[in-house]
Chains A and B, each alone.
Chain A
Amino acid sequence: GQQVMQIPQYQHVQEGEDFTTYCNSSTTLSNIQWYKQRPGGHPVFLIQLVKSGEVKKQKRLTFQFGEAKKNSSLHITATQTTDVGTYFCAGLRGSTLGRLYFGRGTQLTVWP
């Protein structure tokens, strides 16, 4: 079954609006990673969060890892058309030798 749940599946926003996608795991994670896949492209690593309660920023993107290390979020402030794509979270469990459990992704569309 699905180990990591991600919502929403789709999000359509007007350029300049904010966007958030959420991930939730049924088990505690060692770390969580975020990937972006542009239309027609392949997933590309964005960031990794390791510590409980960790918050990291990349320009307009803010990533959070929950205190219990079971949930995470990606927030984009003031979306731009270049943000279009599918965002995946992926959790690593301690003893899985690097196997990630991917969420199903959130497909973001940005209207100009």
Chain B
Amino acid sequence: DVKVTQSSRYLVKRTGEKVFLECVQDMDHENMFWYRQDPGLGLRLIYFSYDVKMKEKGDIPEGYSVSREKKERFSLILESASTNQTSMYLCASSLNFLTGRTYEQYFGPGTRLTVT
């Protein structure tokens, strides 16, 4: 059974702290994604990666960075957390356009981050 795991379900951090959100997938997927989900705004893409050490900005990359040193792991970093980054963060993975016939995304359970 396919699986995407995220390091924490709930996280509370203080303004200005550096925050690491970790995501691991066991499906050997090339693509990995970080989204944030806020009421009424749907899923907004922060960053995605289509290969190890490769990254692409999504729609809202400001205030975030990412790291992908291994194929199965994709980290989201908030360099200096702010209250407007309080949100639900969802990680997802999928096959690559070139290697897969379907590109359905598999989501992790999410991390609800509160910045105070």
Residue-wise interface mask of A (35-53) relative to B, using a CB-CB cutoff of 8 A (1 in contact, 0 not): 1000001111100100000
Q: Mark B35-58, 1 if CB is under 8 A from A, else 0.
A: 100001111010010100000101
CA distance A92 to B96 in the complex (A): 12
Do the beta carbons of A98 and B42 come within 8 Å of each other?
no
Sample 17 A-B pairs with CB under 8 A, ordered by A number.
A6-B42, A33-B103, A33-B105, A35-B105, A41-B109, A42-B90, A42-B110, A45-B104, A92-B97, A95-B97, A98-B50, A99-B31, A99-B48, A99-B58, A100-B103, A104-B40, A105-B43
Q: Which 5 residue pairs are nearest across A and B when measured between Cβ atoms?
A: A104-B42, A45-B104, A42-B107, A98-B31, A98-B103
In whole angstroms, how far apart are the Cα atoms of A44 and B98 in the complex? 23
**A42-B90, A42-B110, A43-B90 are contacts. A100–B42 as well, Cβ < 8 Å?**
no
In whole angstroms, how far apart are the Cα atoms of A35 and B107 in the complex?
11
A92 engages B103 (CB within 8 Å): yes
Could you say which residues of chain A place their CB within 8 Å of the CB of B31?
97-99
Contact B43–A97 (Cβ < 8 Å): no
Q: Which residues of B contact A95 (CB under 8 A)?
A: 97
A22 sits at the interface (CB 8 A) = no
